[in-house]
C-alpha cells in the first residue's frame, strides 16, 4: 500500500468538517450483516500492494484465539445485531493455528462463515485440510473460502504476489474444487483493462479449471479498486449522498465491524472498517456496544473505495 502523498494535503483532518468547512458525512451502523475477525497480520507471502502490510514478519496484529472470538459471538447475541456472516481475514488466516476452531465456533451458532485466503501452503497443510473437510461435511455451503487471485493470468498475478504464486494458488483451488468446498474469488482492477474484460478473463480461467465460481456475479468474483492514497479524491460531505444518489446504508461501515488484537494489548478491540487497521480514529472500543457509534468518513479510502468505488469486503 502506498503512503499518503501531497495529493490530499489538508484533507481528511477533522472528523466533523472537510477542508472546505463543509459538514463531513457520517455513517451509522444501520444494518449489521458481517462481523470480521482479523486473525493476525502474519502472512506466508509479501505482496507488492497489501492494504494491511501483511508479511512473514509483520505481527502488528497478533493471532486471535477461539475464546476471544467466542466472546464477541456472545456479544452479538446480547446486542441482537442480526449478523448473518462471520468473516475471517488476515494476513493469511490459515497461519493462525486456531483458524479451524474459530470457524467451527461461528458455524456451530448458525452463522455463515467467509474465510479470505491465498489457498497456498498454510491452507494445504494436512491438519488444515482435514479440518476443512470436517467443516464442509458438517456445514456444507455455510462455509465459503474467498481466494485472492489478483489477475486471471499468472503473469500479472505473480507481479503482485511473487513468482510461482499463481500456480500454488490454483493448486489449492483445485483441492477445494475436488473437496466440494464453496469458493469465491477476490481480484484487483489495477491492470488497465475494463471490468467486462477482466470478468471475461476470470470466466475463461474458471471454466478451464472447472471452478464453480460465477465470474459475472460481483458477490462471487469481487474486484477491488487499488487503494493508492497518493491519488487525490474528494471528501464526502453530507450533501454528497443526494448528489451521488447514494445512501449511507450502502457504505461498508453501515453493515460491518472488524475485531483485531494489537501486539502487546491485553484485549482485542473493534474497528469501524476492515481497510483501516492502523488509523486510531477508526478504533471504536473493546466491545460491540461501543462499536455501535457512528463513523466519520475521514479517510481517502472512505471516499475512493467505499463511497465512490462502491466496494464491500463482504458478499
Question: Residue with C-alpha cell 457504505?
Answer: 251
In a domain, 11, yes or no: no
224: β partners: 188
CA 312/CA 239 separation, integer angstroms: 22
Q: Classify residue 18: in a domain, yes or no.
A: no
**Could you report how far apart the first and last alpha carbons of the chain are, in Å?**
23
The size of the chain, in residues, is 315
Q: What angle do CA 215, 161, 85 make, to 5 degrees?
A: 50
Residue burial 99-112, b: 16+ Cβ < 10 Å; e: rest: bbebbbbbbeeebb
> How many domains are contained in the chain?
1
**In the chain, which stretches have pLDDT less than 50?**
1-5, 311-315
C-alpha to C-alpha distance for 43 and 38, rounded to whole angstroms = 12
Position 13 in a domain = no
**pTM value > 0.85:** yes
Domain that holds residue 189: 26-306
- Does residue 284 form part of some domain? yes
Indicate the helix (H) or strand (E) that contains 131. Answer: helix 126-139
pLDDT per residue as tens digits for the range 102-123: 999 999 999 999 999 999 999 9
Specify if 34 maps to a domain: yes
Residue 276, classified by CB atoms within 10 Å of its CB into exposed (0-12), middle (13-18) or buried (19+), is buried
SS3 assignment, position 197: helix
C-alpha cell at 267: 484485549
* pLDDT value of residue 228: 66
Domain CATH for 74 = 3.20.20.70
Measured CA to CA in angstroms, residue 63 lies from 42, 68, 70, 72, 118 at distances of 8, 10, 14, 15, 18
Task: Specify if 292 maps to a domain.
Answer: yes
10 Å CB burial of residue 246 (0-12, 13-18, 19+) is middle
Half-sphere exposure of 163 (CA within 13 A, CB side): 0
Does the residue 135 lie in any domain?
yes
**Domain-located, residue 103:** yes
pLDDT at residue 191, as a whole number: 74
Amino acid at each position: 500500500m502506498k503512503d499518503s502523498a501531497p495529493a490530499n494535503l489538508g484533507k481528511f483532518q477533522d472528523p466533523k468538517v472537510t477542508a472546505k468547512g463543509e459538514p463531513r458525512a457520517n455513517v451509522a451502523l444501520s444494518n449489521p450483516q458481517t462481523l470480521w475477525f482479523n486473525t493476525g497480520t502474519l502472512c506466508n507471502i509479501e505482496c507488492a500492494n497489501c492494504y494491511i502490510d501483511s508479511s512473514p514478519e509483520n505481527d502488528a496484529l497478533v493471532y486471535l484465539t477461539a475464546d476471544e472470538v467466542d466472546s464477541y459471538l456472545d456479544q452479538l447475541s446480547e446486542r441482537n445485531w442480526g449478523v448473518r456472516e462471520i468473516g475471517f481475514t488476515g494476513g493469511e488466516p490459515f497461519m493462525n493455528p486456531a483458524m479451524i476452531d474459530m470457524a467451527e465456533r461461528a458455524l456451530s451458532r448458525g452463522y455463515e462463515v467467509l474465510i479470505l485466503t491465498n489457498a497456498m501452503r498454510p491452507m494445504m497443510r494436512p491438519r488444515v485440510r482435514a479440518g476443512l473437510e470436517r467443516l464442509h461435511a458438517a456445514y456444507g455451503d455455510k462455509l465459503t473460502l474467498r481466494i485472492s487471485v489478483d489477475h486471471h493470468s499468472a503473469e500479472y498475478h505473480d507481479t503482485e504476489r511473487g513468482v510461482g504464486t499463481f500456480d500454488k494458488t490454483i493448486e489449492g483451488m483445485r483441492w477445494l474444487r475436488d473437496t466440494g468446498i464453496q469458493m469465491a474469488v477476490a481480484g484487483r482492477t489495477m491492470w488497465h483493462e475494463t471490468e467486462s474484460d477482466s470478468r471475461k478473463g476470470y470466466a475463461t480461467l474458471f471454466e478451464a479449471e472447472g471452478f464453480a465460481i460465477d465470474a459475472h456475479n460481483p458477490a462471487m468474483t469481487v474486484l477491488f479498486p487499488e487503494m493508492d492514497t497518493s491519488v487525490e479524491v474528494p471528501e464526502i460531505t453530507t450533501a454528497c449522498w443526494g448528489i451521488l444518489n447514494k445512501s449511507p446504508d450502502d457504505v461498508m461501515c453501515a453493515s460491518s465491524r472488524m475485531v483485531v488484537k494489537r501486539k502487546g494489548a491485553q484485549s482485542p478491540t473493534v474497528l469501524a472498517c476492515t481497510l483501516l487497521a492502523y488509523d486510531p480514529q477508526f478504533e471504536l472500543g473493546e466491545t460491540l456496544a461501543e462499536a455501535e457509534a457512528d463513523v466519520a468518513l475521514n479517510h481517502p479510502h472512505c471516499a475512493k473505495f467505499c463511497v465512490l468505488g462502491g466496494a464491500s469486503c463482504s458478499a
